Amino acid sequence: MAQPTLHIHGTIISTYSRIVQTVAEEAGISWTITATPAGSPENRRRHPFRKVPTVEIDGLNLYESVAICQYIDNAHNGGALQPNDHIARAEMDRWISVANNYLFPVAEHGLLMPRLAHRFLKTPLRSDIIEAALPEIAEHLGVICQRVEEAPYFAGSDFSLADIFIYCILRPVQMTSEGNNLIGQLLPLRHWLNKTGKRPSLIQTQWETEKQ
Ligand SMILES: N[C@@H](CCC(=O)N[C@@H](CS)C(=O)NCC(=O)O)C(=O)O
Contact 173, 111 (CB under 8 A): yes
Task: Report the pLDDT value the prediction gives residue 3, as an integer from 0 to 100.
Answer: 83
Task: Report the pLDDT value the prediction gives residue 211, as an integer from 0 to 100.
Answer: 80
Residue 78: Cβ-neighbour burial (10 angstroms; 0-12, 13-18, 19+): exposed
Q: Please give the domain boundaries of the chain with CATH numbers for all domains.
A: 5-76 (3.40.30.10), 86-199 (1.20.1050.10)
Q: What's the gap in Å between 38 CA and the centre of ligand 1?
A: 8
- Ligand 1 atom closest to 11 (CA): 9
Ligand 1, atom 6, residue with closest C-alpha = 51
- Ligand 1 atom closest to 53 (CA): 20
Q: Does the beta carbon of 38 lie inside 6 Å of ligand 1?
A: yes
- The one-letter code for the residue type at 44 is R
Task: Report the pLDDT value the prediction gives residue 209, as an integer from 0 to 100.
Answer: 86
Contact 5, 30 (CB under 8 A): yes
β-pairing, 30-35 vs 5-10, is parallel
Helical segments of the chain, H only: 15-27, 41-46, 65-76, 86-98, 104-107, 113-120, 127-150, 161-174, 177-184, 187-197, 200-204, 208-211
Q: What's the gap in Å between 46 CA and the centre of ligand 1?
A: 13
Q: What's the gap in Å between 10 CA and the centre of ligand 1?
A: 9
Length of the chain: 212
Helix (H, G, I), strand (E, B) or coil at 30: strand
Task: Report the pLDDT value the prediction gives residue 1, as an integer from 0 to 100.
Answer: 59
Nearest of 98, 205, 188, 117 to residue 151 by alpha carbon: 188
φ, ψ at 194 (rounded to 5°): -60, -50
- The one-letter code for the residue type at 72 is I
Per-residue pLDDT of the chain (212 residues; tens, 9 = 90+): 578 999 999 999 999 999 999 999 999 999 999 999 999 999 999 999 999 999 999 999 999 999 999 999 999 999 999 999 999 999 999 999 999 999 999 999 999 999 999 988 899 999 999 999 999 999 999 999 999 999 999 999 999 999 999 999 999 999 999 999 999 999 999 999 999 999 999 999 999 888 87
